[in-house]
Amino acid sequence: MADERTQVVIVGAGPAGMLLSHLLAADGVDSVVVETRSEEYVAARIRAGILEQSSVDLLTEVGLGDRLTRDADKHRGIYLQWPEERHHLDFVDLVGRAVYVYGQTEIQKDLIDARRAAGQVVHYEVTDTALHDIESDRPSVTFTDSEGRARTVVADAIVGCDGSFGPSRAAIPARESWDRTYPYSWFGILADVAPSTDELIYAWHPDGFALHSMRSESVSRFYLQVPNGTDPASWSDDQIWDALAARLGHGQNGWTLQPGQITDRSVLPMRSHVSTPMRHGRLFLAGDAAHIVPPTGAKGLNLAIADVALLAPALTALLKGDPRLADGYSETALRRVWRCTHFSWWMTTMLHTTEDPFDTQLQLSQLRWVTSSQHAAAGLAENYAGLPIGF
């Protein structure tokens, strides 16, 4: 049994875990990261692509903004659309904040490069991960490393950044959770084609929701509302482009959708989940280990960043003998979690069609209100562009 000693063990090497290790290192706190997947797999996961202003500010302040500042596409707002109508909401005019298109894969590359240069210890491709003694001041994590050796890392605190299926959430006793499973999924498509829009288009359509997003000047990201259980292979390329053209309004007021080569397709179930508390003893949860939101409001990655931005100073203070921030972490983080959970639900239910004609009229009424009332538009903009960390 090989033993290691560190101050914080971080379970999960995604953006939340790697950013936390970076923030802790800046405060002089040592950490060890353990991850079940390979480095290549974690770096290549195609997930979120929208960063709030506060997330960009934080990443820049901690030395992770070089490529972000150079390559991110700054957006002033979004388009909301339904048949024969398209309206632009300018977040900068409404609330003074923009959003930025910069994929999670790019953030992960920046974090991996920065932590490797700093000599961060990361154990990839581990198995049998288990948490022990979380109510003591010497908790530990055991696992089998990629070479088959049993290992133990003893620490002062453990942080679970290991998503909804990792061991961290399950290690908290007497936890309470809230769930909402939506009756539809997102069919995600990545295509080698320049975006046909300058900013994201969120489209309500009788056939189902559609979203035109982007990853770069030459790569576009699209989503279609589909029934749960849809097999992505059951759609031909022509069917995909025809559905996108219809739902996004190809030909409407002269706008055209440019098709291209589809390079990736996947189906993402839609759900909301909040697990409380986010701390028990010396175990803390961050990111998807504590909460999941549907992607409609672009909150998932930004919530994870906000969590670790709160948690890093709390852990630093705790290790110096001051427990106040750590004691308040769960309550403080959950205020923002629930606000973002509500906003994500609100955007989702406003834009995704059902078979109920009553729902249809409510959704269209809400869309007309949001695009005609400055106060309503400002509320959407404030939530989408991001509330302050620690809200």
Report which DSSP code applies to 164.
Answer: T
pTM for the predicted model, two decimal places: 0.94
Hey, what long-range contacts does 119-123 have (CB within 8 A, 24 or more apart)? 120/18, 120/21, 120/25, 120/31, 120/33, 121/4, 121/6, 121/31, 121/32, 121/33, 122/13, 122/32, 122/33, 122/34, 122/35, 122/39, 123/32, 123/33, 123/34, 123/35, 123/151
Residue 68 near residue 110 (C-beta atoms within 8 A):
yes
What residue ranges define each of the domains in the chain, with the CATH number in brackets? 2-73+103-178+271-351 (3.50.50.60), 181-269+353-385 (3.30.9.10)
Task: Look up tokens 């203070």; give the residue.
Answer: 317
CA-CA distance, 136 to 127, in Å (whole number)?
A: 24
The answer, yes or no, to whether residue 190 has pLDDT greater than 70, is yes
Between β-strands 201-203 and 210-214, what pairing exists: parallel, antiparallel or unpaired? antiparallel
Q: Which residues are catalytic?
A: 75, 202, 295, 299, 384
| Residue 137 CB coordination number (10 Å) | 11
- 165-204: b (≥16 Cβ within 10 Å) or e: ebbbbebbeeeeeeebebebbbbbbbbebebbbebbbbbb
| Residue 30 CB coordination number (10 Å) | 16
Phi, psi dihedrals of residue 32, rounded to the nearest 5°: -125, 135
The answer, yes or no, to whether residue 213 has pLDDT greater than 90, is yes
Report which DSSP code applies to 296.
Answer: G
The answer, yes or no, to whether residue 48 has pLDDT greater than 70, is no
> For the residues 45-59, what does the mean pLDDT come to?
86
* Residue 387, both tokens: 């509330």
What confidence category does residue 16 fall into, taking pLDDT thresholds of 50, 70 and 90? very high
Q: Which of 180-184, 260-264, 306-310, 386-390 has the lowest mean pLDDT?
A: 386-390
- SS3 of the chain: helix, strand, coil, percent, to 5: 40, 30, 30
CA-CA distance, 20 to 23, in Å (whole number)?
A: 5
| pLDDT, tens digit, 9 for 90 and up, residues 71-113 | 999 999 999 999 999 999 999 999 999 999 998 889 999 999 9
